[in-house]
């Protein structure tokens, strides 16, 4: 099994030129747009949405209080209340792993266990940060498509009341999942009911929450607040921000130490207005939905195009292996085909199954990008 994360694997296929430490200055970065073509390695590879860059520039005026005492952060709180309800408390942070650790740590004691899918980011892709930094035990449940069910949650509740076991006190779901699948509101409500019946809270890793909501045609609150979610890690970077995420507390009975833990966990921005300005640009209007819809549509177009290639028999062994419900397509691709396509495009080997690749679309992916990738895979 390849132990690299998908983003690392994608990057390793197209390594940048390296320069030995001889004192020779590295050449300047080529800033021509065609020098950095769009790829399918990750939606993290995409640049910053122009509206977000404009919002950062607009916030770069004069002096204003630091650490969240600025009007941009005040506006962000209002925007989050609009999406998630008046009880929502929002805390901008730097990155997704920090958001996940902070959210779970703020809601749970040190002896807690968190039940999640085995493929979940908090279990597989965060270098053990929830356990090493947050002091929490992660329990990964096997799934076929990255989605927990009430039954899988119930079966993972072990050791309740025994001092030799970490105590199962939370369920964490990814929306959309690491396999690109999406929970419906009813499915989340059922998981939340099972969790709450067992005195557990529900956390959503929402790094791609916008993609899920866009796919389902619902609002952000419809798959969180309205269905019993207690706390969210809200994404931004994967949907066109320069670098900003947030923790949103929905349940007023938890997260009371968030202000202090955010500082302890190195997630308190001194010039917070620039994080909040990005988040405001994304979530105040329809930019979050428009960008997520675009990337979702490109993934669906990519999947349909590859299905045509597979049906033609031109590439034996080519197969879509998961439902396409967000901005990612998982494909069984023979190694020689992947090698050929990687002469032009970067994409990730999926480390959880052999010969599975992940093709990720972003807010700026075009039909022309998809057509060129499909041609490279088909050998045209």
Query: Is residue 348 included in any domain, yes or no?
Result: yes
Give yes or no: residues 211 and 248 share one domain: yes
Give yes or no: residues 194 and 229 share one domain: yes
Query: Is residue 11 included in any domain, yes or no?
Result: no
Give yes or no: residues 148 and 293 share one domain: no
Give yes or no: residues 345 and 256 share one domain: no
Last residue of a domain, one of 235, 255, 285: 285
pLDDT tens-digit profile of 6-60? Answer: 555 554 444 333 344 556 677 788 877 677 788 999 999 999 999 999 999 999 9
Give yes or no: residues 211 and 272 share one domain: yes
Question: What total of structural domains would you count in the chain?
Answer: 2
Query: Is residue 75 included in any domain, yes or no?
Result: yes
Query: Is residue 4 included in any domain, yes or no?
Result: no
* The token pair that represents 275 in the structure block: 């994080």
Q: How far apart are CA 92 and CA 246, in angstroms?
A: 4
Please state whether 12 falls in left (phi above 0), alpha (psi between -120 and 50) or beta: alpha
Q: How far is CA 53 from CA 49, 100, 277, 292, 350, in A?
A: 6, 25, 9, 18, 32
* The token pair that represents 106 in the structure block: 């703020």
Query: Is residue 9 included in any domain, yes or no?
Result: no
pLDDT tens-digit profile of 220-241? Answer: 999 999 999 999 999 999 999 9
Last residue of a domain, one of 255, 285, 315: 285
Query: Is residue 1 included in any domain, yes or no?
Result: no
pLDDT in the model for residue 27: 77
Phi, then psi, of 299 in degrees rounded to 5: -65, -40
* The token pair that represents 138 in the structure block: 């992660």
Q: Which residues pair with 204 in a beta bridge?
A: 173, 232
Chain CA centroid to CA 205, Å? 7
The SS3 call for residue 169 is strand
Q: Give every strand in the sheet of 167-174, ordered side by side.
A: 89-93, 245-249, 231-234, 201-206, 167-174, 112-117, 137-141
Give yes or no: residues 140 and 167 share one domain: yes
pLDDT in the model for residue 353: 85
Tally of CA atoms within 13 A in the half-sphere of 273 that contains its CB? 17
Give yes or no: residues 219 and 85 share one domain: yes
Question: 81 Cβ partners below 8 Å, 6+ apart?
Answer: 88
Give yes or no: residues 126 and 178 share one domain: yes
Per-position pLDDT tens, the chain of length 380? 344 455 555 544 443 333 445 566 777 888 776 777 889 999 999 999 999 999 999 999 999 999 999 999 999 999 999 999 999 999 999 999 999 999 999 999 999 999 999 999 999 999 999 999 999 999 999 999 999 999 999 999 999 999 999 999 999 999 999 999 999 999 999 999 999 999 999 999 999 999 999 999 999 999 999 999 999 999 999 999 999 999 999 999 999 999 999 999 999 999 999 999 999 999 999 999 999 999 999 999 999 999 999 999 999 999 999 999 999 999 999 999 999 999 999 999 998 888 999 999 999 999 999 999 999 999 98
Give yes or no: residues 112 and 258 share one domain: yes
pLDDT in the model for residue 6: 56
Give yes or no: residues 131 and 260 share one domain: yes
Last residue of a domain, one of 285, 317, 343: 285
Upstream peptide bond of 320 is cis (omega within 30 degrees of 0): no
pLDDT in the model for residue 98: 98
Give yes or no: residues 246 and 316 share one domain: no
What's 324's domain CATH number? 3.90.1150.10
Give residue 72's domain range: 50-285
Give the H or E element holding residue 180: none
Query: Is residue 249 included in any domain, yes or no?
Result: yes
What's 164's domain CATH number? 3.40.640.10
Prediction pTM value: 0.92
Query: Is residue 21 included in any domain, yes or no?
Result: no
Give yes or no: residues 201 and 319 share one domain: no
């Amino acid at each position: 099994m390849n132990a690299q994360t998908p983003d690392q694997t994608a990057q390793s296929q197209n390594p940048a030129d390296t320069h030995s430490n001889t004192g020779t200055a590295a050449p300047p970065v080529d800033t021509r747009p065609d020098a950095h073509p769009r790829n399918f390695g990750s939606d993290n590879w995409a640049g910053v949405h122009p509206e977000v860059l404009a919002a950062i520039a607009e916030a770069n005026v004069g002096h204003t209080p630091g650490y969240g005492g600025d009007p941009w952060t005040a506006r962000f709180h209002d925007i989050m209340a609009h999406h998630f309800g008046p009880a929502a408390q929002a805390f901008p942070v730097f990155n997704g792993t920090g958001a996940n650790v902070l959210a779970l740590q703020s809601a749970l004691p040190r002896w807690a266990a968190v039940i999640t899918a085995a493929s979940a980011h908090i279990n597989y892709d965060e270098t053990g940060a929830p356990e090493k930094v947050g002091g929490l035990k992660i329990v990964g449940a096997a799934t076929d498509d990255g989605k927990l069910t009430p039954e899988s949650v119930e079966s993972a509740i072990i050791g309740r009341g025994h001092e030799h076991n970490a105590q199962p006190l939370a369920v964490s779901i990814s929306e959309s999942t690491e396999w690109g699948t999406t929970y419906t509101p009813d499915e989340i409500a059922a998981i939340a009911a099972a969790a709450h019946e067992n005195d557990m809270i529900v956390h959503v890793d929402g790094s791609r929450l916008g993609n899920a909501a866009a796919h389902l045609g619902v609002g952000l609150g419809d798959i969180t607040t309205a269905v019993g979610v207690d706390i969210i890690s809200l994404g931004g970077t994967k949907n066109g921000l320069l670098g900003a995420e947030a923790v949103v507390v929905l349940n007023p009975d938890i997260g009371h130490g968030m202000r202090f833990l955010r500082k302890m966990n190195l997630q308190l921005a001194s010039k917070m207005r620039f994080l909040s300005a990005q988040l405001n640009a994304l979530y105040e209007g329809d930019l979050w939905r428009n960008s997520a819809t675009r990337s979702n549509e490109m993934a669906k177009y990519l999947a349909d195009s590859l299905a045509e290639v597979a049906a033609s028999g031109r590439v034996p062994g080519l197969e879509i292996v998961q439902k396409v419900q967000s901005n990612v397509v998982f494909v069984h691709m023979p190694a020689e085909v992947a090698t050929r396509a990687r002469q032009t495009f970067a994409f990730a080997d999926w480390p959880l199954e052999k010969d599975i690749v992940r093709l990720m679309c972003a807010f700026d992916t075009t039909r022309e990008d998809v057509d060129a990738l499909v041609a490279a895979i088909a050998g045209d």
